[in-house]
A and B are shown apart, each in its own frame.
Chain A
Amino acid sequence: MTRAILLLEDGTQFEGSSFGAEGEKIGEVIFNTQIIGWQEMLTDPSYSQKIINIGYPHVGNYGINDRLNESDSTHALALIVKEYSKIYSNWQAKGSLADFMKKNGVIGIEGIDTRALTIHIRNHGEMRGIVSTKTYDVKALADKVKGYKFENRNTKFETNTKSQNIKSKTVVINIGINNSLLTKFPGATIVSDDTTAEKILASGAEEVVISSGPGDPRELKSLVKEVGKLVGKVKLYGIQNGACVLALALGGSVYKMKVGHHGMNIPVVDPKTGSGEISMQNHSYGIEGLGTKGLGTGMEIVHVNLNDKTIEAFKTKDGKCIGTLYFPIDERSKLPKGYKLV
């Protein structure tokens, strides 16, 4: 079995063996508390440039199935696991996770004390790391991590209209949407993130969704500006990083969290009533201050994270702008009241 190494930027080192693609990748190391859902994580664009650590010991048990992909390709760089399953067993399985990762260039390391890694990140924050199955020269690897600058994440994501003629009432601005979210807006026109406010308004669209996506939402400066122009004119819904973009457009502020929220067991509640839902989350950026721009009426908190009390959802007082940092998974979860998409 090939040796594989994970070196964090603070010098902490973990060694295991390779089960996915061979190579060397630099990314941001996060932990996810889900026990399943690896294929979805790897293919969700919002995991772009992430090295994902899974605390749960067994990964790969039920294999993979193309139907479960969250996009057309993989986006995460590597998967760190305790034990990769030697076999897979599920009636829907079409292949093994390892083969899928090899095919898509995703590095896999098994045999890591992933709980220890989780606790390290919990204590020291999400940080850069390098995974390698090629060189084990720690010093060389350390130099690479230190010197590495992430590329501007401003990748163009696919759209469903070549000419970008908007005919639907609902428009989704794609900053890295996943398939699960996409299915919530059937019939919507998907546009790229350089689409201008003028163009959207000219089309007669009534509702605009800013999708989830990877990277630092604060870097999407021109999009923030365009969204600002839409405020008050159409209904706006932002999800995950899309919510950050919306918050920025409303004059709020966004910050990088020490440890992001990555899991499917995270409670969000209305701070006034305590009622809420268990949500699926994957965000490393939070919303700190609420803006006051929303048509002069300002923003208010709809949901906070019950664990750490950070903002998870907001709306403007007129109800026209709504942002959620989480992906709702409750069977009854619908977009906030009075906001009917679809």
Chain B
Amino acid sequence: MPKRTDIKKILIISSGPIVIGQACEFDYSGSQACKALREEGYETVLVNSNPATIMTDPGMADRTYIEPLEPEFIEKIIAKERPDALLPTLGGQTGLNMGFFLSKAGILQKYGVEVIGADAKAIERAEDREKFKETMASIGLAVPESGTVTTVEAGMALGEKIGFPLILRPAFTMGGMGGSCVYNVDELKKGLEYGLEVSPLHQILVEQSVLGWKEVEFEVIRDCKDNVIIVTSMENIDPMGVHTGDSIVVAPAQTLTTEELVDLENWCKKIIRAVGINGGGTNIQFGVNPDNGKVVIIEINPRVSRSSALASKATGFPIARIAAKLAVGFSLDEIVNQVTGKTFAFFEPTVDYAVFKVCRFAFEKFPDADPILTTSMKAVGEAMSIGRNYKESLQKGIRSLEYRRFGIGADGRDEPPAIATDMEKIKNKLVYPQADRIFWLRHAVKAGLTDQEIYELSKIDPWFVHQIREIVEMEEKVAKHKLADIPDDLLKAAKGFGFSDRQIAFLTRSDEVEVYEHRKKHGITPVYKLVDTCGGEFDPERPYFYSTYDSTTNDCRATDKKKVMVLGGGPNRIGQGIEFDYCCCHASYALKEAGYEAIMVNSNPETVSTDFDTSTRLYFEPLTREDVLQIVEAEKPEGVIIQFGGQTPLNLAKQLEDAGMPIIGTSVDSIDRAEDRKRFKSLLKKLKLTQPANGTAVNIAEARKIAKKISYPVVVRPSYVLGGRAMMIVYDQQDLDEYMAKAVFASPERPVLIDKFLEDAIEVDVDCVADGKQTVICGIMEHIEEAGIHSGDSACSLPTFSLSKSMLGEIRQATFALAKELKVKGLMNIQYAVKGSTLYILEVNPRASRTVPFVAKATGVPWAKIATQVMLGHSLKKLGIEKEVIPKHFCVKEAVFPFNRFPGTDPVLGPEMKSTGEVMGADKDLGVAYMKAQRAAGQKIPLEGKVFISVNDHDKRTITDIAKRFDSLGYKLVATAGTAEVLRNSDLEVDEVARLGEGRPDVLDLIKNGEVKLIINTPGGKKTKIDETKIRSGAIMNMVPIITTISAARATVNGLEAVKKKGFDVKALQDYHSGDSGNN
């Protein structure tokens, strides 16, 4: 069918902030969709609250709304834009739920908007647990014995009838959120209570457990002509019981016979037809009993997903692009496969390589969280690796994760032998899956367990276990040699098994650089093979590349054209995510525009940067020294950009430069001047800039001495970390001693840094771009929360709202001075603190920062692109970028946290970053912009009801004014004794409630009963921490909005006053910048 001409304007709802279970894969799919629809001439309207995305760049859609993803706002957008159709299948579960609710609520009907991609009926058959069961039964497919309940009582009865263990799956949630596996009545009750709470429909599926079964997934697409294709199968190495987002996954499936696979594929075709998707795709998950091949259907996701992004990257087949084309009426046979350039989308991709998806976790950030992997997703990021065999691919995958592990062990970072050989420990680690289980498979093999024994404990298929056994055997062979006497054949074979130079160095007692040089001398270098969708059957036009040592023929397509290489950011983690991918993509776009070939290196399958057409050539490779250097040798780029990929390429900068790599932009030496403590100090001294009093210590005595000298409170942290890892504010010597005792990482090379903590200071973030001569400020952001809260976790506003003109002048001068002194070429970010009339420099990062995309959206200027042009040698003057852009409206950035994934953790903010994503709210009024950001971040701040207030002594003075304002807005105040007394002294009416353990009902009861609608609770220190954690995590679990700083409470009440007066309005990004764009 040709495309539909009866629709002209299409609304795309995307997925909002990066959270666990919904990450930048939806930026990838949404961007693809926007491009795919625009090239067909449709007008696109995009709504997404996440400013860090590529898709929200003004050029991606015709109309871009950075607004909260809530029906209230979307209806306003629909009323304003009057789209003909809504495409809800490209924005993850959020987009799908929104489309479904808008349809159910009659809003789409009211405005005559048609749902395309998957109609409401199909969505319901896929997502509503009962309807799904019925649909599956109608085609004769078994589902695990189960039932849907809406109350705890019904769930208890059903659960006991089915028998333990049981899986609980709340309806309409993403990433299995709120799901759990329960083994007894007690756990069942708790699981039901929580699951019902988090399901938007208060509906939960209680299901027979198929723990230990093989988990096999498919990506299936159907068009309006009833053509169906299976894009790929994927097999989870971790069997049923671990969420697929937390599992190590291989594509295609490895342990099924043709007959089994064809049977499952035929089920897929029946399912997609029965559900009624006829212009889109779905993910389908099966459980397969490893003992008898019995098949049950687990679930389907009738939309693009994390798995579809993975399937796309694993095969070269862009599912989201195709789904968008199908949604507007094209059929598969009409859509050209752009990778081959000569075949069509009606085709099942095949591969001639092995793909692994491995997961990145962040448990170190949430020490109180349960580290056991279950059916509720906990991973914050992932890497994908490609090799010519599974062993190579798996080891590349491990080093792609950037956990400072360089393969499956044997990298000098293994557990000490006493632990690694402890059989009890090994068995425990195999039975209870944790993030590090893959390493324990190796320990188990080394400890003498057989494949079958390991399978019995872990339920990981013996085929995969044996791959690790082969790696171990290779390791033992290599370890018999020194580098000088290792036979070339053996070294080549080890490289073919994916061993990194680090591992070889460890095994042969040499170092990484020596191994690299030795290999080069002996001609043991990788060849590059293609991802071409077709296993070599056709000569592809737009393939991408991976390295292998396990093949002989090199298919590298390096040219001798002028080119620049961009190093990406690797897997998402807390502190480094989509913002850096945004910058890398812009680098590629700018390079191509300037007539260069853009060579991208990255390992993150979720991203736009690893889309097949973002760069001229893409290398899907780990970001380690050896992998990057090999590509440099193959491509010989004129320059390499390292300042856009976050800490990942920066950590490699020195090694790469030493190896002769032509780094462009700000010099490695300048980066070092800003990072190295001592050099930084003298830099500031030279420029007569001030930093908080500080010192470094390697032991308790030194630390005490420094802290005493600069006086408490102080901020302590290890050197060389990202996202404020292990950073703390300590108020007294006892705390300091405790910290230092735990700081086993401290050493003369890696001392603990101690800074004076500036209480009640205003923190300011500045991004600027410089060309070596001239510096232009991209944006000055004033934080809402006071200094001391990690900049990634605090809300901020652009433009600033309370800084004086003279202070802003001082900030600008300091920024110019630093950029000039560091000879910055490209972007730089500076964090300042303003206390009284003093300006302190907290940190200088001569690279792209997390805030670059936010600033770009707020100012309407593509800063990352400009920075790239600068690095290519253009002057800012020539580019016409000479003045700071100060928007006439306020843009507020707010952070989004994963606390709901980690029950029991304290959601209090501090110097260690914990947020996974961000949102933006914009309005002429700062208060309204702030409230929009809160709504977008999922904080459902109520417009009336009870507000519970409990603040520490320090905050008691300031809370009164805030409480008064809540009171006059009509809120009822509730407080515990101490705070209540303070408030009563100011003549406020307060309900008093018992502290925990001092009578019932206590505050937790009020939270659970839904009586309290908003909580303001500032941390009171160690003594009260246990109770406060209960209250705060109780609030998170019961989804009561919680505010943990006075500054945020003040901003909230400001916002409420503004919203009550003016209400919300929506405005497209294009309209914000049409009047005041440019540099005026």
Hey, which bits of chain A sit against chain B, CB under 8 A?
31, 33-37, 40, 55-58, 61-62, 65, 68, 82-83, 85-92, 113-116, 118-119, 122, 263-267, 269, 273-278, 306-307, 329-332
Lowest 9 CB-CB distances: which A-B pairs, in order?
A265-B348, A55-B352, A116-B553, A331-B266, A275-B225, A118-B536, A37-B258, A274-B333, A89-B463
Are B266 and A86 touching (Cβ within 8 A)?
Answer: no
The main secondary structure of chain A at its interface with chain B is: loop
Interchain residue pairs with CB less than 8 A apart (5): A82-B551, A116-B551, A307-B342, A307-B538, A332-B269
B421 contacts A by Cβ under 8 Å: no
**What residues on A are CB-neighbors of B262 within 8 Å?**
329
- For B348, the chain A residues whose CB sits under 8 A away are 264-265, 278
The contact of A87 among B342, B353, B466, B551, by CB within 8 Å, is B466
Shortest distance from the beta carbon of B406 to any chain A beta carbon, whole Å: 23
- Chain B residues with CB under 8 Å of A56's CB are 350-352, 535
**Do the beta carbons of A55 and B536 come within 8 Å of each other?**
yes
CB within 8 Å for A57 and B352 given contacts A40-B258, A62-B257, A82-B389: yes
Q: State whether A61 and B463 are in contact (beta carbons under 8 Å apart), knowing that A82-B388, A116-B553, A122-B539 are contacts in the complex.
A: yes
Which of A55, A90, A264, A307 is the one whose CB lies under 8 Å from B257?
A90
Q: Which residues of B contact A119 (CB under 8 A)?
A: 536, 553, 555
Shortest Cβ distance from residue B477 to the other chain A in the assembled complex, whole angstroms? 15
**Pairwise interchain contact A58-B352, C-beta atoms closer than 8 A:** no
Contact B292 A91 (CB under 8 A): yes
Q: Which of B248-256, B303-311, B604-612, B757-765 contacts A (4 or more CB under 8 A)?
A: B248-256
Residue from A56, A65, A275, A332 having most chain B Cβ neighbours under 10 A: A275
Chain A neighbourhood of B43, CB < 8 A: none
With A113-B551, A113-B553, A115-B352 as contacts: A274 and B536 at CB distance below 8 Å = no
Q: How far is the CB of A182 from chain B (nearest CB, A)?
A: 15
* Chain B residues whose C-beta falls within 8 Å of the C-beta of A88 in the assembled complex: 463
Known: A36-B258, A118-B535, A331-B266. A85 touches B351 (CB 8 A): no
Instruction: Give complex CA distance A92, B536 in Å.
Output: 31
Nearest neighbor of A269 in chain B, beta-carbon distance: B333
Say whether B819 faces chain A, with CB atoms less than 8 Å apart: no
> Which of B293, B333, B462, B553 sits near A115, CB closer than 8 Å?
B553
CB distance from A36 to the nearest CB of B (A): 5
Interface string of B874-888 (1 = CB under 8 A from A): 000000000000000
Residues from chain B with Cβ under 8 Å of A37 in the complex:
258
State A235–B261 Cα separation when bound (angstroms): 34
A90–B464 alpha-carbon span in the complex (Å): 12
Asked if B6 lies at the interface with its beta carbon under 8 angstroms from chain A, I say no
**Chain B residues whose C-beta falls within 8 Å of the C-beta of A116 in the assembled complex:** 551-553
Query: Shortest Cβ distance from A114 into chain B, in angstroms?
Result: 7
Q: How far is the CB of A69 from chain B (nearest CB, A)?
A: 12
Q: Contacting B254 at CB < 8 Å: which of A40, A61, A68?
A: A61
A61 engages B255 (CB within 8 Å): yes
User: Does B987 belong to the interface (CB within 8 Å)?
Assistant: no
Q: Is the CB of B261 within 8 A of A269?
A: no
Report B-chain residues with C-beta under 8 Å of the C-beta of A267: 227, 229, 333, 344, 346-347
Partner of A55, one of B349, B535, B550, B553: B535
Known interface pairs A62-B256, A267-B229, A267-B333; 9 further A-B residue pairs with C-beta atoms within 8 A, sorted by A's residue number: A33-B535, A36-B256, A58-B390, A115-B551, A263-B350, A264-B348, A265-B347, A278-B228, A306-B347
Selected contact of B354 from candidates A33, A58, A89, A122, CB within 8 Å? A58
Task: Give which listed residue, A68, A89, A265, contacts B255 with CB less than 8 A.
Answer: A89
Evaluate contact between A68 and B463: CB separation under 8 angstroms.
no
Inter-chain contacts of A329 with B (CB < 8 A): 262
Tell me the complex Cα distance, A306–B225, Å.
15
Contacts of B539 in A (CB 8 A): 122
Given the complex of chains A and B, what is the CA–CA distance between A115 and B540 in angstroms? 14
A-chain residues with CB within 8 Å of residue B550 when the two chains form the complex? 57, 82-83
State the CA gap A213–B266 with chains docked (Å): 26
State in angstroms the CA–CA spacing of A57 and B230 once bound together.
Answer: 20
A63 to B632, CA, bound (A): 41
Contact, CB under 8 Å: A122 / B352: no
Asked if A274 and B334 make an inter-chain contact with CB atoms under 8 angstroms apart, the answer reads yes
Chain B residues with CB under 8 A of A91: 290-293
Q: Which B residues are in CB contact (< 8 Å) with A273?
A: 225
**Residue among A31, A33, A62, A276 making CB contact with B346, cutoff 8 Å:** A276
A32 to chain B, nearest CB (A): 9
Report how far A37 CA is from B262 CA in the complex, Å.
10
B537 is an interface residue with CB less than 8 A from chain A: yes
Q: Mark B526-568, 1 if CB is under 8 A from A, else 0.
A: 0001000011111100000000001111010000000000000
- Cβ contact of A57, chosen from B290, B346, B388, B536, cutoff 8 A: B388
Taking a contact as CB atoms under 8 Å apart, the answer to whether B353 and A57 are in contact is yes
CB distance from B354 to the nearest CB of A (A): 6
Task: Give complex CA distance A258, B621 in Å.
Answer: 35
Closest to A277 in B: B227
Chain B's nearest CB lies how many Å from the CB of A261? 9
Q: How far is the CA of A186 from the CA of B68 in the complex (A)?
A: 61
Q: Residue on A with the closest CB to B227?
A: A275
**Pairwise interchain contact A36-B257, C-beta atoms closer than 8 A:** yes
Contact in complex: B261, A36 (CB < 8 Å): yes
B343, A307: Cβ atoms closer than 8 Å = yes
The smallest C-beta distance from B965 to any residue of chain A, in angstroms, reads 65
B145 adjacent to chain A (CB < 8 Å): no
Structural contact, B225 and A86, CB atoms closer than 8 A: no
Instruction: Identify A86's interface contact among B260, B388, B470, CB under 8 A.
Output: B470
Known contacts A33-B535, A90-B256, A277-B227; is-contact A307 B344 (Cβ 8 Å)? yes
In the complex, which residues of chain B have a beta carbon less than 8 angstroms from the beta carbon of A277?
Answer: 227
Most chain B CB within 10 A, of A62, A87, A115, A118, is at A115
Q: Given A65-B257, A91-B290, verify A263-B537 contact (CB < 8 Å).
A: yes
Residue contact B466 to A86, C-beta cutoff 8 Å: yes
B252-277 contacts to A, CB under 8 A, are 252, 254-262, 266, 269-270
A89 near B535: Cβ-Cβ < 8 Å: no
Query: Hey, which chain B residues are within 8 Å of A265, CB to CB?
Result: 347-350
Interface pair B257/A275, CB less than 8 Å apart: no
* Partner of B347 from A65, A114, A115, A307 at Cβ < 8 Å: A307
Question: How many angstroms from the CA of A57 to the CA of B270 in the assembled complex?
Answer: 30
A165→B292 CA distance, assembly (Å): 41
Chain B contacts for A87, CB-based, 8 A: 451, 462-463, 466
Which residues of A sit under 8 angstroms from B1, Cβ to Cβ?
274
Please determine whether B256 and A269 come into contact, CB atoms closer than 8 angstroms. Answer: no
CB-nearest residue of chain B to A278: B348
Q: Are the CB atoms of A58 and B257 closer together than 8 Å?
A: no
A263 to B343 CA separation, bound complex (whole angstroms)? 15
In the complex, the answer to whether A31 meets B536 with C-beta atoms within 8 Å is yes
Closest Cβ of chain A to B943, distance in Å, is: 54
Q: How far is the CB of B456 from chain A (nearest CB, A)?
A: 13
Q: A85: which B residues are within 8 A, CB to CB?
A: 463
Task: Say yes or no: A269-B346 contact (C-beta < 8 A), given A58-B390, A62-B257, A68-B257.
Answer: yes
Which chain B residues in 851-883 approach chain A with CB under 8 Å? none
CA distance A57 to B254 in the complex (A): 11
Separation of A329 and B538 alpha carbons in the complex (Å): 23
Bound Cα distance from A273 to B470, whole angstroms = 51
Chain A residues closer than 8 Å to B555, beta-carbon distance: 115, 119
Nearest opposing residue in chain B for A37, CB measure: B258
Contact B261 A274 (CB under 8 A): no
A138 to B182, CA, bound (A): 65
A122 to B347, CA, bound (A): 18
- A115 vs B536: C-alpha distance when bound (angstroms): 6
Is B389 a contact of A57 with CB atoms below 8 Å? yes
B93 located at the interface, meaning its Cβ lies under 8 Å from any Cβ of chain A in the complex: no
Are the C-beta atoms of B346 and A306 separated by less than 8 Å?
yes
Residue of B nearest to A93 (CB): B257
Is there contact, CB below 8 Å, between A33 and B350?
yes
B1057 contacts A by Cβ under 8 Å: no
Asked whether B461 is an interface residue with its Cβ less than 8 Å from the other chain, the reply is yes
CA distance A128 to B351 in the complex (A): 25
Q: Closest approach, in angstroms, between the C-beta of B1056 and any C-beta of chain A?
A: 57
B979 touches A (CB below 8 Å) = no
